């Protein structure tokens, strides 16, 4: 390569740019925000149990797109970036890498021990699902490089959650599924679920497979919706239009109350408790008052709902679902003892053996103690990255975003104790997406701190 070619090559590759200097830069072509937006559409808009029939359990569109994201990220890492920020150490990558290693070791050990025929395919599919979720996390973590891109993706997550909530409200009011059209598409699997019944009320699921998955999605998105409504950097528009971003907050809150679910109430409570300390002081009381007022309005507008919800908690000790979860804890050591270190293989513990309704216990059975520790480390890495960015960034909205992501991650971690969340597409993908966004916040914060230090 001659000197002229070297000079042209160097000019074609931009120098690393701090996020604070790149809030107004718009890159050409397909970027991470576009790829993640497609994923959000496939994840939230397409019913969780709808897939390409010929591919079986591998036919879910969001799963396939996640693998595409992983391939896209891998190819991008092999090429010289044309637009980048200074790289920072991401502990979430280390935790995710350890999770993949443990999953592969567990898979190999389970196959060497010998498995029933119907467990081999779920075991391989389980590893592929981890890779798909990892593709989402890595693209969000390395592809989002500026505050503008970060706020754009967060707004789209909020919109997806609000539309899911609106569908759930419509299902509650009409008592109808409203998503049967997907089952009529040629070559696609049918639609089950959408609505259930509890007492005299319709129990909505939206496009989720189960009301618990629906409740987890709403609870996880709520802190981000509040941050989008409060943050000024999210809205380079007039103050009047910024007010509209409180509509998703109201829709998600309303849908959560109408979900007729203990998990939805617990999730919303955890989300608000975790979020409020990170809000600006002037907004804490209005958020508390608004949440209380919304709950009161729902109780008055829907006769009998309060009694049903109170009954769900007061009868928890004798409720079949609750006693099943408690009894599962007693039986867990028996299943864990067969392979306590690295488990029996992710996805191999089929419902015919036992249903734990607790993702943390199920992880201990399928991936052992090491698997539980790596997933905990993944959540902790996301929380630490968000809090670190909130502490060091010079952007006023970054602390708000960071605390909102912390609240969302804590909420998902708590709700994983109520059901096997990684078995449900939306509930499983959300923590990986949130951890990826936490890594992106860390990148933004680190770049901004670097540029601030040089300008002092």
Would you state the pLDDT for residue 320? 63
440 domain-assigned: yes
Residue 205 lies in a domain: yes
Alpha carbon distance 177, 187 (integer Å)? 21
How far is the C-alpha of 82 from the C-alpha of 100, rounded, in Å? 29
The residue with greater pLDDT, 318 or 187, is 187
Range from 9-13, 142-146, 290-294, 364-368 carrying the lowest mean pLDDT: 9-13
- Whether residue 178 is contained in a domain is answered as yes
How many distinct structural domains can be found in the chain? 1
Output the six-digit token pair for 432.
């990986």
Confidence of residue 315 (pLDDT cuts 50, 70, 90): low
253 and 289 in contact (C-beta within 8 Å)?
A: no
| Spatial distance between the Cα atoms of 108 and 345, rounded to a whole number of angstroms | 8
Which distant-in-sequence residues (6+ apart) come within 8 Å of 273 by Cβ?
Answer: none
How far, in Å, are 59, 189, 230 from residue 54 at the CA level?
7, 9, 45
Lookup: tokens for 443? 């990148």
Residue ranges of E strands in 187-297: 195-198, 201-204
Q: How confident is the model at residue 451 (pLDDT cuts 50, 70, 90)?
A: low
Confirm whether 82 is domain-assigned. no
pLDDT at 14: 35
Decide if 84 is inside a domain: no
pLDDT of 115 > 90? The answer is no
Nearest-CA neighbor of 265 among 200, 314, 224?
A: 314
Alpha-carbon span 214 to 298, nearest angstrom: 19
Q: Is residue 310 part of a domain?
A: yes
What pLDDT is attached to residue 233? 59
Global confidence as pTM: 0.89
DSSP string across 262-288:
HHHHHHHHHHHHHHGGGS-HHHHHHHH
The answer on pLDDT for 152 being more than 70 is yes
Average pLDDT value for residue range 214-240: 82
In a domain, 5, yes or no: no
Q: Is residue 86 part of a domain?
A: no
User: How many CA atoms within 13 Å lie on the side-chain side of 265?
Assistant: 14
271-291 per-position pLDDT tens digit: 999 999 999 889 999 899 999
How far is CA 125 from each of CA 99, 120, 334, 346, 369, rounded to the nearest angstrom?
Answer: 15, 9, 25, 9, 21
What residue numbers bound the domain in which 433 lies?
A: 29-76+92-454
The counts of H helices and E strands in the chain are: 16, 2
């Amino acid at each position: 390569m001659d000197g002229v070619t070297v000079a042209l090559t160097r000019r074609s590759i931009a120098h690393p740019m701090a996020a604070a200097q790149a809030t107004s830069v718009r890159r050409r072509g397909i970027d991470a925000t576009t790829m993640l937006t497609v994923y959000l559409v496939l994840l939230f808009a397409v019913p969780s149990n709808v897939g390409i029939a010929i591919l079986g359990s591998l036919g879910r569109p969001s799963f396939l797109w996640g693998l595409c994201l992983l391939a896209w990220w891998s190819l991008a890492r092999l090429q010289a970036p044309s637009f980048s920020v200074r790289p920072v150490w991401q502990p979430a990558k280390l935790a995710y890498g350890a999770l993949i290693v443990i999953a592969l070791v567990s898979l190999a050990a389970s196959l060497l021990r010998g498995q029933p025929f119907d467990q081999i395919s779920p075991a391989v599919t389980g590893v592929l699902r981890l890779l798909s979720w990892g593709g989402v996390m890595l693209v969000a973590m390395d592809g989002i490089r500026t505050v503008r891109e970060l706020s754009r993706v967060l707004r789209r997550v909020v919109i997806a959650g609000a539309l899911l909530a609106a569908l759930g409200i419509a299902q509650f009011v009409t008592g109808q599924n409203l998503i049967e059209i997907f089952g009529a598409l040629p070559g696609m699997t049918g639609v089950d679920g959408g609505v259930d019944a509890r007492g005299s009320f319709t129990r909505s699921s939206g496009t989720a497979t189960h009301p618990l998955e629906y409740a987890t999605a709403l609870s996880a998105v709520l802190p981000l919706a509040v941050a989008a409504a409060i943050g000024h950097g999210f809205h380079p528009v007039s103050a009047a239009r910024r007010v509209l971003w409180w509509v998703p907050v109201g829709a998600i809150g309303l849908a959560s109350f109408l979900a007729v679910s203990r998990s939805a109430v617990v999730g919303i409570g955890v989300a608000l408790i975790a979020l409020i300390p990170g809000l600006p002081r002037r907004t804490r009381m209005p958020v508390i008052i608004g949440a209380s007022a919304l709950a009161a309005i729902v109780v008055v507008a829907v006769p009998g709902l309060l009694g049903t919800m109170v009954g769900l908690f007061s009868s928890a000790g004798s409720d079949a679902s609750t006693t099943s979860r408690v009894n599962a804890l007693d039986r867990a050591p028996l299943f864990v003892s067969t392979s306590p270190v690295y488990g029996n293989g992710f996805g191999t513990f089929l419902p015919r053996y036992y249903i734990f309704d607790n993702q943390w216990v199920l992880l201990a059975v399928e991936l052992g103690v090491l698997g539980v520790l790596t997933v905990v480390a993944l959540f902790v890495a996301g929380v630490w990255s968000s809090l670190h960015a909130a502490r060091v960034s010079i952007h006023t909205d970054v602390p708000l975003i960071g605390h909102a992501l912390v609240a969302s991650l804590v909420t998902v971690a708590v709700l994983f104790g109520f059901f096997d969340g990684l078995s449900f597409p939306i509930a499983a993908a959300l923590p990986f997406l949130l951890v990826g966004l936490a890594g992106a916040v860390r990148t933004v914060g680190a770049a901004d701190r670097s540029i601030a230090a040089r300008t002092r």
